Amino acid sequence: MRLTDCHNVADFRELARRRLPWPVFDYIDGAADDELTRVRNTESFASWDLVPDVLAGVETIDLSTTIMGKTTPLPLMLSPTALQRIFHWQGEMAVGKAAEKFGLWFGISSLATVSIEQIGEAISTPKLFQLYVHKDKGLNTSLIERCQAAKFDAIALTVDTIVSGKRERCLRSGFTSPPRFTASSALSYAIKPRWAMDYVFREKFRLPNLDSYISAGTGEPISIQNYFNSMLDQSMDWKVAEDIRHQWGGKFCLKGLMSVADARRAVEIGADAIMVSNHGGRQLDGSRAPFDQLAEIVDAVGGEIEIICDGGVRRGTHVLKALSMGATAASGGRLYLYALAAAGQPGVERALTILSDEIERGAKLMGITSVAQLNRDRLRPR
């Protein structure tokens, strides 16, 4: 199977599965507990049908959307995800460069394997930094100040990761960051020599945004579960979120909200956007799917704050359904991560080309020339 055999996100997933050591693949693909929420995140889109209009004159269409003050050609964002250099040696730089070609928002994680400064210099597309609130206040302040200096366009404060979800595939495989080559996992790495050579001989793995503060950045293997449970501040509350918004002073998004009450509080503290998200099913298993939860949040705070539907998106039509339900944009992680793991920057570019074509084709078949024409009248529950 080659890159040219990939025609949808599922194909990229299969190519990634073949190319990665299984502990790495399972870290990307897996989620919490029984993974019910991960599965539901995508299935929820199938619970609603699109209702097209025809004879609408769709030769020229403009699907551009304004998200947190930046106009992008498509209503799609690339969500921040951790540890990308473990998936492919080109890591975040490949994703950022691909996002730039399409003019899309892209995010780097607090656990990114490139520095805030490198991304700030190299990538001109709208970019956000995903902030975890650490117990170490000095680290939080340093991350915010570095984002200011590097002229990031937004901070997304992740609020659904007070403790780590129970990621059982990682417990079984013993996945750590950086990967630890134990007797039991050695085989999984040995049978993927291409990945192993890249990992060993390319630039050394680091977490450069954290490494002057915590041991997780020094190269000491730590499970992600341990990192979250020992480093993150479980006392984080609305006051902390509000203080961070003031300290940052720029566009501010809360990532990982699911309830109407929380969406209202996000408006009250002056957030510019919320990502309705359950972290791709990696945290609270049994949590509702973002798409299922959209309508009540849009009805409560639509027009007062931007609402981004994050998770489960695998098709252009999923994006169109999210917008029809009232989201400002859709966002996703695995939709580009499988492609990164499968083939680096060319992989992500191919995935974005496919998704962008699917969105445009779907829009034309829906009979719309701009995303503003999508509304609930275009959806019916099954």
Query: Active-site residue numbers?
Result: 279
For residue 228, how many other CB atoms are within 10 A of its CB?
A: 18
Q: How many residues bind ligand FMN, per CB under 6 A?
A: 25
The correct pick among 65, 72, 277, 356 for binding ligand FMN (CB under 6 A) is 277
Q: Is 279 in the site for ligand FMN (CB under 6 A)?
A: yes
How many DSSP H helices and E strands does the chain contain?
16, 12
Contact assessment for residue 361 and residue 316, using Cβ atoms and an 8 Å cutoff = yes
Residue among 336 and 368 whose Cβ is closer to ligand FMN: 336
Read off the DSSP letter of residue 204.
P
Nearer to ligand FMN, 129 or 368 (CB): 129
Looking only at residues 96 through 135 of this chain, which bind ligand FMN when binding is defined by CB under 6 A?
A: 109, 111, 130
Q: Distance between CA 362 and CA 58 in Å, rounded?
A: 11
211-219, 243-251, 327-335, 341-349 -> range binding ligand FMN (CB under 6 A): 327-335
Cβ within 8 Å of residue 11, ≥6 positions away: 1, 5
Query: Is the CB of 108 or the CB of 368 nearer to ligand FMN?
Result: 108
Q: Which residues ranging from 71 to 100 are in contact with ligand FMN (CB under 6 A)? A: 79-82
From candidates 41, 113, 293, 317, binder to ligand FMN by CB under 6 A: 41
How near is the Cβ of 279 to ligand FMN at its closest, in Å?
Answer: 5
The candidate with the shortest Cα–Cα distance to 75, out of 103, 45, 41, is 103
Least distance in Å: CB of 284 to ligand FMN?
13
- Output 312 or 368, the one with its CB closest to ligand FMN: 312
List CB contacts of 163: < 8 A, sequence separation 6 or more: 228, 229, 232, 234
User: Rounded CA gap, 208 and 146, in Å?
Assistant: 12
Query: Which of residues 44 and 324 has its CB atom nearest to ligand FMN in the complex?
Result: 44
Name the one range near ligand FMN by CB under 6 A: 147-155, 229-237, 329-337, 347-355. Answer: 329-337
Q: Residue 334 interacts with ligand FMN (CB under 6 A)?
A: yes
What is the per-residue binding string for ligand FMN in 208-247, x denoting contact by CB under 6 A?
A: ----------------------------------------
In the structure encoding, which two tokens stand for residue 182, read together? Answer: 């134990």
Contact criterion met (CB below 8 Å) for 297 and 307: yes
The pattern of x and - marking residues 290 through 319 that bind ligand FMN according to CB under 6 A reads --------------------xxxx------
Q: By C-beta, is 205 or 373 nearer to ligand FMN? A: 205
Indicate which single residue of 19, 251, 255, 350 sits in contact with ligand FMN (rule: CB under 6 A).
Answer: 255
Among 335, 339, 342, 351, binds ligand FMN (CB under 6 A): 335
CA distance 170 to 341: 17
Task: Please list the residues that pair with 70 across neighbouring strands.
Answer: 67
First-to-final CA distance of the chain: 36
Query: How would DSSP label each residue in 349-373?
Result: HHHHHHHHHHHHHHHHHHT-SBGGG
Q: Could you give the CA distance from residue 39 to residue 59 in angstroms, rounded to a whole number? A: 36
Question: Which residue from 15, 20, 28, 352 is in contact with ligand FMN, where contact means CB under 6 A?
Answer: 28
Give, for 155, the enclosing helix (H) or strand (E). strand 154-158
Q: Are 324 and 50 in contact (CB under 8 A)?
A: yes
For residues 10 and 99, what is the distance between their CA atoms, to the nearest angstrom?
20
Q: How far is the CB of 53 from ligand FMN (least distance, A)?
A: 29
Chain residues that interact with ligand FMN, rule: CB under 6 A: 27-28, 41, 79-82, 109, 111, 130, 158, 255, 277, 279-280, 282, 310-313, 332-335, 337
